[in-house]
Amino acid sequence: MINENTKQGASVGEMHKRREVMEDGRRYIIYYTFGTREPVSTGEVSELKPTTEVRDDV
Amino acid sequence: MSELRWHPLLGEWVATATHRQDRTFLPPPDFCPLCPTKPGGFPTEIPEQTYDIVVFENRFPSLSPNPPEPAIEGDDFYPVRPSVGECEVVVYTPNHSSTLAQEPVEQIFKLVQVWTDRFRDLSALEFVDYVFIFENKGEAIGVTLSHPHGQIYAYPFVPPRVLRELEQSKKYADETGNCLLCDILTKERDDGRRIVAENDSFAAYIPFFARYPYEVHLSAKRHLLDLTELTPAEQVDLAAILKQVLAAFDKLFNISFPYMMVLHQKPSDGGSYDHYHFHIEFYPPLRTATKLKYLAGSETGAGMFINDTLAEEKAAELRSHIEPVIWAKK
């Protein structure tokens, strides 16, 4: 039952997040992307910071 | 209108949220508010196309950072307070027709990281005492949007179910010096009959005391209190065992299996909770392919669950559908 494949392929890259104000001007939305891809902004950027670095060797 | 009303008989808060009566109910796929907005198409909640996972504030929240004044004035006998808090929607994927069970394990791994980030951010809010991450899946549970998503409620108090677990765990720790969840896990692993899946960091089992036929609990093997304590390797293992359990659920009756999934973590009210233990619980409503386990008179009115099945038999059934997790090649 122990899964031998568990530690393989766990490299999804660094997490990026960007927080924006939604269309209604009231709520927030946070886009999360991983790896080299970052979301293309369609509005005001209020936050952009990588918060979690995923190890490549796990 | 939205407010918290005190239930003096049970000693817990009840949220009223009358605006939620108007929320979107099972829209056709072309008008799904959780899909990314298509060029020239129906404007959804998510204007952007390129993302892995999206989190946004619920349009119809039960709790909000700036809640309206209560509709009715409370008093000492019937206290009322504003429904301060936060309600977030977590969209697992842009793919409308997917489910978490169908997503590749890499996507679930990403979700674990997003959960962790949201737990960290929401826990830091001054008005938040408990961050509750959960998913309601399937129409049998009352889901109003089929697009794969979960939710996060950040409460201004520790909710009663969790409070009871905390109290039981504290009492056990005071009596034995041990963590209750650690000892439950040891007991389940020693017995083995109710274990569904296991890897280096987590075990999934239908506990001895299961209230639902397919009530799986998923516990960290290491004593830890919340998601932020997971190592990267443990995050990987959590994603892997979630994938295994969810896929096995779907194989049980060859349907997209409905469930409630809840994450139980330590409160964020500044207290000390070393006696508690991070775990995930699943409450699937089905007892057969076509029959629901209803929360009827005894369960709802008395709080005593009647389980028509044996955890040992249901665990064996579910275990037979567990398959290895395949990660995509780099």
Q: What is the pLDDT of residues B146-202, one digit of tens each?
A: 899 999 999 999 999 999 999 999 999 999 999 999 999 999 999 999 999 999 999
Question: pTM for the complete prediction?
Answer: 0.91
Pairwise CB contact (< 8 Å): B50 & A10: no
Q: Are B89 and B132 in contact (CB under 8 A)?
A: no
Distance from CA of B209 to the nearest CA of A (A): 23
Complete edge-to-edge strand list for the sheet that includes strand A15-21: A45-52, A15-21, A28-34, B53-57, B86-91, B149-155, B130-137, B259-264, B279-283, B217-220, B202-205, B195-198
Which pLDDT band, with edges at 50, 70 and 90, does B63 fall under?
Answer: very high
Helix locations, B230-271, DSSP H: 232-253
Distance from CA of A40 to the nearest CA of B (A): 7
Q: What is the pLDDT of residue B306?
A: 94
Which pLDDT band, with edges at 50, 70 and 90, does B30 fall under?
Answer: confident
Distance from CA of B221 to the nearest CA of A (A): 13
Under DSSP, the state recorded for B297 is I
Q: Are B72 and B80 in contact (CB under 8 A)?
A: yes
Range B60-72 average pLDDT: 91
A47 touches chain B (CB under 8 A): no
A36 touches chain B (CB under 8 A): no
Q: Measured between alpha carbons, how far is B135 from B113 in angstroms, rounded to an integer?
A: 16
Q: What is the pLDDT of residue B19?
A: 67
Q: What is the pLDDT of residue B253?
A: 96
Q: What is the pLDDT of residue B26?
A: 67
Q: What is the mean pLDDT of chain B?
A: 94
- B260: CB partners within 8 A, 6+ apart: B134, B135, B136, B137, B141, B282, B283, B284, B285
Residue in B7, B96, B147, B149 annotated catalytic: B149
* Partner residue facing A31 (CB), from B54, B197, B240: B54
Pairwise CB contact (< 8 Å): B232 & A37: no
DSSP string, B144-200: S--SSEEEEEEESS--HHHHHHHHHHHHHHHHHSS-HHHHHHHHHHHH-TTEEEE-S
Q: What is the pLDDT of residue B302?
A: 94
SS3 B30: helix
Pairwise CB contact (< 8 Å): A23 & B51: no
Query: At CA B23, angle to CA B80 and CA B26, rounded to 5?
Result: 140
Annotated active-site residue B321? The verdict is no
Q: What is the pLDDT of residue B28?
A: 73
* Partner residue facing B198 (CB), from A1, A30, A37: A1
Which pLDDT band, with edges at 50, 70 and 90, does B21 fall under?
Answer: low
Q: Measured between alpha carbons, how far is B58 from B202 in angstroms, rounded to an integer?
A: 31
- Closest residue in A to B325 (Cα–Cα): A5
Percent above pLDDT 70 for chain B: 96
pLDDT per position as a tens digit, A30-40: 999 998 765 55
Pairwise CB contact (< 8 Å): B236 & A7: yes
Angle between helices B311-319 and B232-253 in degrees, nearest 10? 100
CA-based end-to-end distance of chain A:
20
Q: What is the pLDDT of residue A42?
A: 45
Is the pLDDT score of B49 beyond 70?
yes
Domains of chain B as residue ranges with CATH: 1-23+60-83 (no CATH), 24-59+85-319 (3.30.428.10)
Is the pLDDT score of B323 beyond 70?
yes
Q: Which residues of A touch B117 (CB under 8 A)?
A: 15, 17, 32, 51-52
pLDDT per position as a tens digit, B237-277: 999 999 999 999 999 999 999 999 999 999 999 999 999 99
Distance from CA of A6 to the nearest CA of B (A): 6
Selected for mutation to probe chain A from B110, B111, B117, B245 (highest A CB count within 10 Å) is B110
Beta-carbon contacts below 8 Å between A and B: 108
> Which tokens go with B215?
């009530």
SS3 B53: strand
Pairwise CB contact (< 8 Å): B106 & A12: yes
Is the pLDDT score of A8 beyond 80?
no
* Partner residue facing B329 (CB), from A4, A9, A17: A9
Is the pLDDT score of B23 beyond 50?
yes
Q: What is the pLDDT of residue B202?
A: 98
Q: Which residues pair with B90 in a beta bridge?
A: B55, B150
Is the pLDDT score of A51 beyond 90?
no
Count of other CB atoms within 10 angstroms of residue B296: 9
Classify residue A46 by burial, with Cβ atoms within 10 Å: 0-12, 13-18, 19+.
exposed
* Partner residue facing B327 (CB), from A8, A28, A29: A8
A44 touches chain B (CB under 8 A): no
Q: What is the pLDDT of residue B200?
A: 96
Q: What is the pLDDT of residue B265?
A: 98
Phi, psi for residue B126 in degrees, rounded to 5: -60, -35
> Which tokens go with B19?
């605006």
Is the pLDDT score of B122 beyond 80?
yes
Is the pLDDT score of A3 beyond 60?
no
